[in-house]
Structure 1
């Protein structure tokens, strides 16, 4: 499995994180890819999802299904 190039990823924390360090960061600026990483380890691994899978996850969270 080839890891995607995330060098251009612009990671952002949620505005609801309260500025803490125990957060996830999400990058949505990459074509066809959403990347998620641990804010405590920005040079560590990131999970990647298709935009459809990410939107389905968010829909489930918002409807309390996940």
Structure 2
């Protein structure tokens, strides 16, 4: 019984630490995630590092229209 209680508390503590990491900080940096230059400036200004910098998708070419 005591071992089960200790295991339950350990699991709850591990889940709590995992869920409450630096997610809020990274969420605040999401507006800068698609612009690497802005992410660098933000990192230099605040000291926070944006973990995920994504490259935006290229613009698709305009659809081909055949003129008759």
- TM-score tier, shorter chain, comes to under 0.3
- What TM-score do the two structures reach when normalised by structure 2? 0.25
Higher gyration radius (CA): 2
Higher helix share: 2
Q: Could you tell me the TM-score, scaled by structure 1's length?
A: 0.26
Q: Could you say which structure has the higher strand fraction?
A: 1
